[in-house]
Amino acid sequence: MNKLLGEVDPQIVEITAKDLTRQQDSLMLIPSENYASRAVMEAQSSILANKYAEGYPGERYYNGCQFMDDVESLAIERAKALFGVEHVNVQPHAGSQANMAVYHAMLEPGDTILGMSLDQGGHLTHGANVNFSGNLYNIAAYGVNADTERIDMEEIARLAEQHRPKLIVVGATAYPRHFDFAAWRQIADAVGAYLLADIAHIAGLIAGDVHPDPAPYADVITTTTHKTLRGPRGAMIMCRAEYADKIDRAVFPGLQGGPFLHTIAARAVAFKEASEPDFKTYQAQIVKNAKALAERLIENGFRLVSGGTDNHLMLMDLTSKYEKLSGRQAADHLEDAGIIVNKNTIPFDKRKPRTTSGIRLGTPMITTRGMKEDEMVSVADFITETLENRQKASIKRQIREKVKELCAQFPIYEYLE
């Protein structure tokens, strides 16, 4: 019981150490990822992992939960203060489960949801036909305007009037512009729909006051707690007080049993970190870095979907420069050079999701490391040089060394056995 990991399982230690090296020596540009702090990771690996605590604070089904109540209550109060909401449920294990719980609470199977199409930037749980949401509910999908590649609110209003959804989902995984939540509220009210804001990608930006706030407008808000919020992997649901009982019952006992109190403790730590003044500085720098990276990529001849970014991410249309290069191929070539992105469909993509015509880039992780606008110019140039010389292994190796040198100037935490 008292042996350290290195004594019990050196194979896991070896794999973890290798991935630390990968993370340290690579430019991590996937916008849905981030580095959790040492404090967050310490809480997540604590003895709180040993306890079952089905139920909610003060209403548990197991004895011995007084300190579990303290942890969960603390996380709830910190989240309420951070986002200015009336009720929070911190138990969902993942963003998909959070969205499922909201649908379970607010809808009946067969009800209509208006959500963003997956191939236009939405999420699986916004109505994709391969997901539970597309199977259990009637989905009316919206996307972006073909000319501007931005959401057209007049078109959203038209679709809402046509389909009369019971719930409208505003949120995305690959949309580089702001959401006007007040406008979405007006549309929801016009057709008598609930408004769900899925802020999984932009929660940190909202907490940092660099993105419009959904709290005054949405009936329910879901988010993951990693990504820009920079906490542990997990999720939470925020809502108006009138929906609190429905939401809580949908999470437990509706969809989950025992919550992960060690992860909830780590979320509480992340919420505390996000309440500090330097977190707002960090979020502002994420946006500054994204704009700088986008501007340099455009200068280097790439076309970005919608012409740039307002937030932490951007979508690069590879077809504008390399007709035959797919997103999958580009991501693999960039990984050869130590640059980690993900393949991603672009609006009206002619390629399939496993191939794609685009790649998705983001700045949360490199901003966490301390990089700023000057480094974004270097990053954009590394990307450009790699794709221009994608068939030349020797040049990709040279770029990888340059990437490693840049990363060495901005180290992440060291691995401790």
Q: At what angle do helices 10-25 and 393-408 cross, to 10 degrees?
A: 90
- Catalytic residue of the set 177, 185, 227, 267: 227
Under 8 Å between Cβ of 105 and 249: yes
The pLDDT tens digits for 277-286 are: 999 999 999 9
Q: Is 295 a catalytic residue?
A: no
**Considering only CA atoms, which of 376, 382, 378 is closest in space to residue 397?**
382
Q: Is 70 a catalytic residue?
A: no
- Where residue 256 falls (left for φ over 0; alpha for ψ -120 to 50; beta otherwise) is beta
As given in the structure block, the two tokens for residue 279 are 């977190």
Which amino acid, one-letter code, is at 379? Answer: V
- Catalytic residue of the set 16, 25, 33, 52: 52
**Considering only CA atoms, which of 296, 309, 268, 60 is closest in space to residue 177?**
309
What are the CB-based long-range contacts (under 8 Å, 24+) for 403-407?
403/25, 403/26, 403/27, 403/337, 403/338, 403/339, 404/25, 404/338, 406/27, 406/375, 406/378, 406/379, 407/24, 407/25, 407/26, 407/27, 407/338, 407/369
Q: Is 233 a catalytic residue?
A: yes
As given in the structure block, the two tokens for residue 355 are 């191939």
The pLDDT tens digits for 163-215 are: 999 999 999 999 999 999 999 999 999 999 999 999 999 999 999 999 999 99
Backbone angles phi, psi at 276, to 5 degrees: -80, 150
pLDDT of residue 413: 84
The Cβ of residue 146 has, within 10 Å, a number of other Cβ atoms equal to 9
Under 8 Å between Cβ of 204 and 285: no
Pairing mode, if any, of strands 55-56 and 342-344? unpaired
pTM of the model: 0.96
pLDDT of residue 414: 67
Convert 338-350 to b/e letters by CB count within 10 Å (16 or more is b).
bbbbbbbbbbebe
- Catalytic residue of the set 150, 233, 240, 249: 233
The Cβ of residue 167 has, within 10 Å, a number of other Cβ atoms equal to 21
Alpha-carbon distances of 19 from 176, 321, 368, rounded to whole Å: 29, 33, 18
Q: What angle do CA 105, 109, 111 make, to 5 degrees?
A: 90
Alpha-carbon distances of 102 from 126, 133, 169, 225, 265, rounded to whole Å: 12, 11, 11, 17, 23
User: Which domains are present in the chain?
Assistant: 41-274 (3.40.640.10), 282-408 (3.90.1150.10)
CA distance linking residue 280 with residue 177, whole number of Å: 19
Under 8 Å between Cβ of 143 and 149: no
Q: Is 227 a catalytic residue?
A: yes
Consecutive 10-residue runs of the chain (417 residues): their mean pLDDT? 94 95 96 97 96 97 97 98 98 97 98 97 95 96 97 98 98 97 98 98 98 98 98 97 98 96 98 98 98 98 98 97 96 98 97 96 98 98 98 98 97 67
pLDDT of residue 417: 41
Q: Is 189 a catalytic residue?
A: no
Residues 6+ away with beta carbon under 8 Å from 264? 71, 72, 75, 90, 91, 234
- Catalytic residue of the set 173, 223, 224, 367: 224
- Catalytic residue of the set 72, 119, 149, 198: 198
pLDDT of residue 72: 98
pLDDT of residue 5: 94
As given in the structure block, the two tokens for residue 296 are 């340099």
Under 8 Å between Cβ of 316 and 358: yes
pLDDT of residue 94: 96
- Catalytic residue of the set 16, 25, 33, 54: 54
